Amino acid sequence: MEEALIRYKDVEIHQQELCVLGGVNLELHAGELVYLIGKVGSGKTSLLKTFYAELDVESGEAEVLGYDMRRLKRKHIPELRRKLGIVFQDYQLLTDRTVYHNLEFVLKATGWKDKAKIKDRIAEVLALVGMERKGYKFPHELSGGEQQRIGIARAMLNSPRIILADEPTGNLDAETGYTIAGLLDNLSRQGSLVVVTTHNLRLLEDFPGRVYRCTDHRLEEITGSKDYTDKKSTI
């Protein structure tokens, strides 16, 4: 198998000096769809945050896209994040500008200068998420599902090798959440590593991938669907 895009060995993660996860071992590759599940406070979002250097790795070996996360200097964090796509539960769109200008803002902030190329790239990602006719809208004029589609389009702008999605369907109804999950599944099929934290275990059945559960301060990979469907009530 090709080289891992994310590789963690015996990693320990703390939140406010408390160990939330220890002994974390991961090797995640291009083209994989990976789920992180577990109770609220079990550490899945904390783990996700270490991938984009929002949270430090306390010990062990940790590499993301070849960056040593234990030794990553603050000045290099923006460089790492430009190579990642991040999708948030609460969308985090800029409310004072249109969809087009939300996406334009990201491209300009990551070094794009050619107006024609910017326009073309925005058209491409909007078409990929089925929002090609909504560029002129402001976020408040969109439904939650539409805003999340824009969030995914934004994450895709710089063609990242890794897409991280933190509860991307958490604020959406079941049908809309299914559509969003389908978009993420499709991105993994196109070659991106897609890592999703979720409480919606139905998605794991509809869009199968690798599954890791955070429980009792540990991370365990689940290899059979029965292992997690039997424990729905605990998540």
Give the tens place of pLDDT for each residue, 99-117.
Answer: 999 999 999 999 999 999 9
User: Averaged over 51-58, what is the pLDDT?
Assistant: 94
What is the pLDDT, as a whole number, of residue 171?
Answer: 87
Instruction: Give the residue among 129, 112, 52, 120 at the shortest CA–CA distance from 83.
Output: 52
Residue 56 and residue 74: Cα distance in Å, rounded?
11
Residue 177 and residue 3: Cα distance in Å, rounded?
31
Pairing of strands 210-215, 33-38: parallel
| C-alpha dist (Å) from residue 232 to 87, 194, 199, 200, 225 | 24, 23, 9, 9, 11
What is the pLDDT, as a whole number, of residue 229?
Answer: 52
Q: Which residues contact 170 (CB under 8 A, 6 or more apart)?
A: 89, 198, 199, 200
Is the pTM here over 0.75, yes or no? yes
> Is 233 a residue whose pLDDT tops 80?
no
Partnered with residue 162 across adjacent β-strands are 84, 193
> Is 225 a residue whose pLDDT tops 60?
no
Residue 210 and residue 29: Cα distance in Å, rounded?
11
224: amino acid identity, one letter: G
Tokens read off for 193? 């590593």
